[in-house]
Amino acid sequence: MRHLLPRSWSPATGDVRVGGASLSSLAGRFGTPLLVTDEAHLLARLDAFREAFGPATTLVYAGKAFLCGALLEHLDRAGWWVDVVSAGEMEIVSRAGLDAGRILMHGNAKPRGELADALACGVGRIVVDHPGEVDVLAGLAATVGREAPVLIRLNADVAAVTHEKVKTTGARAQFGMDLATAARVVADAATRAGISLRGVHIHVGSQIRDLSTFRRAAAAVVSFLEPVRSAFPERVDVDLGGGLPVPYLRDDATTDVDAYAAAILGGLDEARAADRLGDHRLFIEPGRSVVATSTVTLYRVEARKTLPDGTELIAVDGGLSDNPRPSLYGQRYEVLAVSRAGEGPERRFHVVGRHCETGDIVNEAALLPDSTVPGDLVAVPVTGAYAHAMSSRYNGLRRPAVVYSADGEAREVVRRETLDDLVACDPILSARPPGSPRHP
């Protein structure tokens, strides 16, 4: 189970701490649900990518996995770029003070206005997803008076195996362009005023367990580059996207950043050895594998009951609204006892969230102390990516807080939404006084 937990998670029994701070006291201080990040674990992940890929690789964090000011400060200091897909993400990253030249813009349907703003503020790269985008960018470049530094996104089928909803290459994928179309777009872009063609991008999908897929992705990009090499500058950008998986359940294998780097760098080395690559600059865009395992979500148990078939069920005070992944992808999570850590005997519980949806399930058979009752705290690991970032206010729930914990000190990096936040966009309700007594 250790591979699912923040490194500082200890002890196994008694008062469990993350980053030296007691989870029970954090729950008391910040409320639940609460995302708790082991900041040292997070920083070690940033270092692990740098060490595995070396100084020459451009590390681009996929902002969609999770963004906040504190994380962006760390990324900035560590020299990372950030990939954004909307004006909203762009605003978040810009406010954090990241140099626009280290922002990479993605999107399969980028609104014109967002492209214009990105160009005007001088983003580092814009990834072209469809042929028409070159026209739009050339036009905008003339208006804004700045060249668009572009990568061309390929959709090469490298037989990626993952959940259908996070596979981004193949015959029916809505991202990028097939190789023949991409070659035409390259030829067109190379001659256009206002377009600075820099390189090629591919993101085969997310949670790619078979690392040889990345080697195939590297090979696909290289074999695309060969016939069109003359269209690119001397040194071409090769962006291989993200997709390194993380373990969610105790039996899931750990995937190692070094093995990931070896697959990618090995793939490029083969091409280099065969003189097929030429001078290039490697970009990678990991998201999930940077932040996921640094974080756990703390929940309070609110209900326990026995179902008609004898199953013992516990329901926690969050779920679908703070982590839609079980409902979207059928992902299941481990559930760990916090206030009763180490207590025996254990039994299997069906653990669900509090939402009005039958799919709001955390785990159908979590092993927890039999003594678990309402009021107890439990933790769900590996929630640092695509949980808070995909959270909603479904059922009128307020998005939870996120705290970073290090050296026994915890700081709120995202505060919990208030009831006022919940009605803030409603002109009628936001003008009225609170309607019900508030319990903090």
Question: How far is the CA of 329 from the CAs of 169, 240, 362, 379, 386, in angstroms?
Answer: 18, 24, 12, 20, 12
- Here the tokens at position 301 are 């148990």
| DSSP assignment of 298-353 | EEEEEEEEE-TTS-EEEEES-STTT--HHHHH------EESTTTT-S-EEEEEEE-
Q: Which of residues 26 and 60 has its CB atom nearest to ligand LLP in the complex?
A: 60
Q: Which is nearer to ligand LLP, 239 or 376 (CB)?
A: 239
CB nearer to ligand LLP: give 243 or 369: 243
Q: How far is the CB of 64 from ligand LLP (least distance, A)?
A: 6
- To the nearest whole angstrom, how small is the minimum distance from the Cβ of residue 206 to ligand LLP? 3
Q: Identify the residue whose tokens are 């008076």.
A: 145
Q: In the complex, what is the shortest distance from the CB of residue 49 to ligand LLP, in angstroms, rounded to a whole number?
A: 11
Q: How far is the CB of 316 from ligand LLP (least distance, A)?
A: 20
Tell the smallest beta-carbon distance from residue 188 to ligand LLP (Å): 22
Contact 45, 244 (CB under 8 A): no
Cis peptide upstream of residue 233 (ω within 30 degrees of 0): no
Closest CA to 398 of 8, 30, 33: 33
- Specify the residue, 65 or 218, whose C-beta has the smaller distance to ligand LLP: 65
User: Among all residues, whose Cβ is closest to ligand LLP?
Assistant: 242
Give min distance, CB of 285 to ligand LLP, in A. 4
Name the minimum Å distance from CB 208 to ligand LLP: 8
Q: Is residue 68 flagged as an active site residue?
A: no
Minimum CB separation of residue 303 from ligand LLP in Å reads 27
Please pick, among 68, 121, 356, 425, the residue that the annotation labels catalytic.
356
Smaller CB distance to ligand LLP: residue 203 or 398? 203
What HEC string does 380-419 produce?
Answer: EECCCCCCHHHCCCHHHCCCCEEEEEECCEEEEEECCCCH
Q: Per the structure block, which two tokens stand in for 248?
A: 């969610």
Residues that bind ligand LLP (CB under 6 A): 62, 64-65, 83, 106, 166, 168, 203, 206, 241-244, 285-289, 325, 329, 386
Tell me which residue of 140, 139, 171 sits closest to 157, measured CA to CA. 171
Sequence-distant (≥ 6) Cβ neighbours of residue 51 within 8 angstroms: none
Closest CB to ligand LLP among residues 29, 329: 329
| Residue 308, phi then psi, degrees to nearest 5 | -55, -30
Rounded to the nearest angstrom, the gap between the alpha carbon of residue 12 and the centroid of all alpha carbons in its chain is 28
From CA 225, how far away is CA 358, in angstroms rounded?
49
Three-state secondary structure call for residue 354: coil
Strand partners, 158: none
Distance in Å from the first CA to the final CA of the chain: 34
Smallest distance from ligand LLP to CB 284, Å: 9
- Of 269, 291, 261, the closest CA to residue 381 belongs to 291
Task: Provide CB contacts within 8 A for 301, sequence distance 6+.
Answer: 314, 315, 316, 317, 372, 373, 374, 375, 376, 377, 378
Minimum CB distance to ligand LLP smaller for 217 or for 378: 217
For ligand LLP, the closer of residues 263 and 368 by Cβ is 263
d(CA 440, CA 437): 10
* Beta carbon nearer to ligand LLP, 183 or 390: 390
Give me the active site residues, please.
356
